[in-house]
Structure 1
Amino acid sequence: MSGRLEGIARHDRPRGPIETLDHVAVTRELGVRGDLRGAIRPGKSGRRQISLIETESWQAALAELGTAVERTLPWHIRRANLLVQGIRLPREPGKIVAIGQSLRIEVTCECDPCSRMDEIHPGLKLALMPDWRGGVLGRVLTDGEIAIGDEVRIEE
C-alpha cells in the first residue's frame, strides 16, 4: 500500500508563521531544512524531529467541528511538517515511513495535540485526540529530497 505526500510545511521559531513548500531537503542533522524542531540538540534523542499528519484524520477532526470550519482551517495550522493522503500512518513506535526515493522516518510517538490547538479554534484539541488524529512524530533515519506528489510507503 502507498499514499502520497500532499503538503510540506515548516516554521523557524516558536509560534512563528508557517511556510508551505513544494519541495524540501530533509536530513538527519536538521530535519525539514529551515524548521525550528528539526535540529537534534546535544543530549537529545530527536524523537520529535519531524511531524506527519494524515489528510483523512485532519478532515475527520474538522468534520466534528462543523462545516464552516472545514472550509477555513488549512492543514498546516496544525503545525505539522508533512501531510500524507491515502495511507494510514503507523500507530506504534519503531515503524518506518518512506517518502520519495530515499527519505526514511522512524515513528517514535503520537503527536499529542496541545492547548495551542484550542487557541486556533475552540474544540480542535479534543477533535484531534482520538485514534492519533493529531499525527505522529519521528526521527529522520536517512536523508532525502521530497516534493509534493511523492509516494509514501510504510516499511516493516
Structure 2
Amino acid sequence: MEELQSVAVTAAAGVQGDFRGVVRQGAVKPPRRQVSIIEAESWEAATQETGGSQGDALPWHSRRANLCVSGLRLPREPGAIVAIGATCRIEITMECDPCSRMDEIRPGLTAALTPDWRGGVLGRVVQDGEIAVGDEVRIER
C-alpha cells in the first residue's frame, strides 16, 4: 500500500495502479469491487475499541482501502453516488466486509469493523476524474 496525494480514477481501470479495479476483457460492466472507501472516523473508532490510543493509532491504509474520507457519513445502501472533486463519481455497490487479515494487524479489529458498515463501502466508477487529498466529497443520491 502506498499513500498518494492525487490519483486518476476511471471506469476502465478503477484507481490508477490497483489491478482490482481493471475491467476484464469481455466484461459487460466494471466489477462491483472497483473502488473501496473507508471513513476516517469509523477507522479511528474501531482501532480505539481494540486497544489503540491516540499515540498508537494505525494508519488508515492498514485497512487496505483505496480511499479514506472524513467529515461525512458514507451511504449504507447500494445505488448511492459519492462525488469526489470536480468530476469523479462512484456508485456504491455493497458493504466492504473486513477480512481476517485485520486481526493480524490488531486482535479484535475484524469484529470492531463489522457493525454499521465500519469496514467501508465498495463501488464502481461511473464518471472518471482526477482526485486529490483535500478534494470535496459529497453524496449526490
CA distance in 2: counterparts of 1:40 and 1:116, whole angstroms: 26
CA distance in 2: counterparts of 1:61 and 1:97, whole angstroms: 23
Secondary structure of the 1:87 match is: coil
Letter in 2 for 1:97: V
Indicate yes or no: 2:107 matched with 1:97: no
1:108-147 alignment, distance < 5 Å? 108-147=93-132
Aligned length: 139
Task: Considering fraction of residues, name the structure with more strand.
Answer: 1
Alpha-carbon contact 1:62-1:69 (below 8 Å) kept: no
For structure 2, the 5+ residue unaligned runs are none
TM-score, L = length of structure 2: 0.93
Indicate yes or no: 2:40 matched with 1:55: yes
CA distance in 2: counterparts of 1:101 and 1:30, whole angstroms: 19
TM-score, L = length of structure 1: 0.85
Paired-residue identity, % = 67
Matched residue, 1:27? 10
Which consecutive segments of 4 or more residues in structure 1 shift more than 6 A? Answer: none
Q: Deviations over 1:10-51 (max 9, x none)?
A: xxxxxxxx0110000110001110012110224364100000
Quick one: structure 1 residues 72 and 86, their matched pair in 2 at CA, closer, same or farther if it must change by over 3 Å? Answer: closer
Q: Deviations over 1:68-127 (max 9, x none)?
A: 486241100100000000000000000000000000000000000011111221111001
Alpha-carbon contact 1:111-1:134 (below 8 Å) kept: yes
